[in-house]
């Protein structure tokens, strides 16, 4: 039986049992039909027992026979580099991996570890940064004062101010999103996934706007939420996580290239 069928059975069986035991069986017993009353009562008790069995089964599916997922960040630090007006493209890369080429950026790899012996299938990870007003975010940040910033909805384009009198890099168009799904066919012992790049882009935009100018100082952490759900086995609500992305300014003295370390820390939510 499917989860929906079991829920319907749990709803209807006690009602049927009440009618059989409290109505038909009682009337038959006091009306002199004692043998039929016994059998009607028996079926009423069976309905109650089935209700209890289905409830225990639902509890087992939801709490015992489910994957137990933990979310970790294999490399908890990403390196952010931004060097306008030479280039308006920011780059981010794991600290343990190769450096990103100009204009190439990588979002963090995420590891899902299954602590139970029950594998999950047909899963989806929903990644989300809480919505902010990108227009107000950019307008309040002195970091963008020297550049031409255009906003179309959530899309942000950063480039040189006109007229351009010296060679500069091309404008960079960012297409951040605040929420995006990633499909995961299986949840085995270890499943590798990633923060969607456009969600990561929104987190980086917030970091660029709020990162202090003084080297060694940190910005307010940006929260990235992950909600994990699966269809097989049935019955589980969701597994929720929160990744704290804390950026620290590491720009070298007298350097025009902005650099920052982004420390990632995972927290499991109830």
Residue 149 to residue 137: CA distance in whole angstroms: 12
pLDDT digits (tens, 9 = 90+) for 96-148: 665 555 556 889 999 999 988 888 889 999 999 999 999 999 999 999 999 99
Q: Looking at the whole model, is its pTM more than 0.85?
A: no
Residue 78 to residue 217: CA distance in whole angstroms: 16
pLDDT digits (tens, 9 = 90+) for 138-151: 999 999 999 999 99
DSSP states of the chain: --HHHHHHHHHHHHHHHHIIIIIIIHHHHHTT-HHHHHHHHHHHHHHHHHHHHHHHHHHIIIIISS--EEEE-SS-EEEEEE-TTT----EEEETTSPPPPTT---PPEEEEEE-SSPPEEEEEEEEEE----HHHHHHH-GGGTTEEEEEETTEEEEEEPSSP-S--PPPEEE---SEEEEEEEEE-SEEEEE--HHHHHHHHHHHHHH--SSTT-BPPPEEEEEEEEEEESTT---EEEEEEEEEEE-PPTT-SSEEEEEEEEEEEE-
pLDDT digits (tens, 9 = 90+) for 160-177: 998 888 889 999 999 999
pLDDT digits (tens, 9 = 90+) for 249-265: 999 998 989 999 999 99
Q: Average pLDDT of 35-60? A: 70
Q: What percent of the chain has pLDDT over 90?
A: 57
Name, in order, each residue with C-beta under 8 angstroms of 35's C-beta and a sequence gap of 6 or more.
none
């Amino acid at each position: 039986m499917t989860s929906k069928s079991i829920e319907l059975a749990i709803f209807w069986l006690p009602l049927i049992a009440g009618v059989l035991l409290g109505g038909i069986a009682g009337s038959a017993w006091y009306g002199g039909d004692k043998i039929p009353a016994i059998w009607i009562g028996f079926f009423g008790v069976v309905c109650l027992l089935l209700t209890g069995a289905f409830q225990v089964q639902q509890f087992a599916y939801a709490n015992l026979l489910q994957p137990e997922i933990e979310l970790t960040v294999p490399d908890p630090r990403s390196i952010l580099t931004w060097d306008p007006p030479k280039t308006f493209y920011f780059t981010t890369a794991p600290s343990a991996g190769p450096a990103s080429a100009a204009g190439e950026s990588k979002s963090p790899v995420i590891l899902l570890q299954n602590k139970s012996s029950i594998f999950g299938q047909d899963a989806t990870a929903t990644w989300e940064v809480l919505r902010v007003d990108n227009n107000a975010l950019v307008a309040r940040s002195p970091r963008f004062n020297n550049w031409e910033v255009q906003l179309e909805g959530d899309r942000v384009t950063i480039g040189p101010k006109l007229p351009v009198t010296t060679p500069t890099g091309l404008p960079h168009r960012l297409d951040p999103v605040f929420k995006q799904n990633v499909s995961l066919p299986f949840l085995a012992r270890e499943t590798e996934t990633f923060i969607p790049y456009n969600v990561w882009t929104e987190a980086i935009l917030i970091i660029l706007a709020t990162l202090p100018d003084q080297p060694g100082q940190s910005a307010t952490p940006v929260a990235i939420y992950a909600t994990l759900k699966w269809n097989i086995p049935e019955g589980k609500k969701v597994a929720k996580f929160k990744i704290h992305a804390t950026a620290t300014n590491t720009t070298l003295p007298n350097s025009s290239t902005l650099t920052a370390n982004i420390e990632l820390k995972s927290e499991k939510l109830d």
